[in-house]
Amino acid sequence: MPVVTIVGAGVIGVSWARLFGAAGWEVRVSDPRPDLRDVVAEHLSGLSVVATDDLASAAQGADFVQEAGPERMEIKEQMFATLAANTGEGVVLASSSSSLLPSHIAAGNPAADRIVIGHPFNPPELMPLVEVVPGPQTSPKTVERAVEVYKALGKLPIRLKKEYPGFVGNRLQKVINDQAMYLVQEGVIDVADLDDLVRASLGLRYATIGPFQSGVLGGGPAGIRHLIEGIASQMTFEIGAPDPARTGAVVDAVDEAYGTGQEAYDRLAALRDERTRAVLRPLGWAEPRQEG
């Protein structure tokens, strides 16, 4: 049975642990949080999981490492130094970071050639995408191995040609989120209506085809060129940008629309997961096979 070390027992780390565990991996979860064993017992029951606050021991003998710790460079530098010292040659050290560049994480690390970004969308156990982002020192073997592992988990690993701030998924997400914030601030639409609008249009469209393919179809038989020369040429309006000083009012509106606290979180997460599972298979995505 292959062994994976999951670093961090937050939302992302626990989801990674379920994904690897369901696919038949022995899972080691390392986190200094005092309630680690309670988290494992509640969220990872029935899986082969070892919980420890000792990262060095958790890393020894691992076949793959998926880090999902805090998004703070100084912490990642410490963790990856420990991981480098306690894993063997060829063991991929993948970070779930959504913004930190692999070259920065790997700076001065003797295992820089084994460090790569494996950035999932939340929750990793359901969302197909994993962005695989190499740094300048990441070896081709590391990238190939990471892609191999993610594919075996049922994921769609997309290799970026080079590291870039925000990678690709979050750069696209930032544009949409900024415009959503701006339109609510401008009084054009309410929070819940904007969410419904996206679900009933772009969300549904992009779940089936991407932006460029959508452009091809939007242009009819003449393709995307016709779309760009026609409808797109008339979209000359200014996009606008959200006002940071007015963010609080939008946050209050989101809280009012959806609630806060553990009960609200659990309810919304369950709804999200139920809907995501309902569309995965019809769209050609499959959850990892269950062992046993």
Report the CATH number at residue 79.
3.40.50.720
**Token pair in block for residue 35:** 């309630």
The verdict on residue 269 lying in a domain is: no
Which one-letter amino acid corresponds to residue 278?
A: A
* 69 and 125 both lie in a single domain: yes
Residue 289 is given by DSSP the state P
Half-sphere exposure in the Cβ direction for 92 (13 Å, CA): 27
Range of the domain at 94: 3-159
* 119 and 192 both lie in a single domain: no
Instruction: Give the whole-angstrom CA distance, residue 185 versus residue 190.
Output: 9
Query: Does residue 4 contact residue 63 with C-beta atoms inside 8 Å?
Result: yes
* 10 and 144 both lie in a single domain: yes
Find the CATH number of the domain harbouring 237.
1.10.1040.10
Q: Which pLDDT belongs to residue 285?
A: 87
Q: Which residues are catalytic?
A: 131
Mean pLDDT, 10 residues at a time, the chain of 292 residues? 96 97 96 95 92 97 97 96 97 96 97 98 96 98 98 96 96 97 98 98 95 94 92 90 97 97 96 94 73 41
* 135 and 211 both lie in a single domain: no
The verdict on residue 287 lying in a domain is: no
Residue 88 is given by DSSP the state -
Question: What secondary structure, in 3-state letters, does 117-185 show?
Answer: EEEECCCCCCCCEEEEEECCCCCHHHHHHHHHHHHHCCCEEEECCCCCCCCCHHHHHHHHHHHHHHHHH
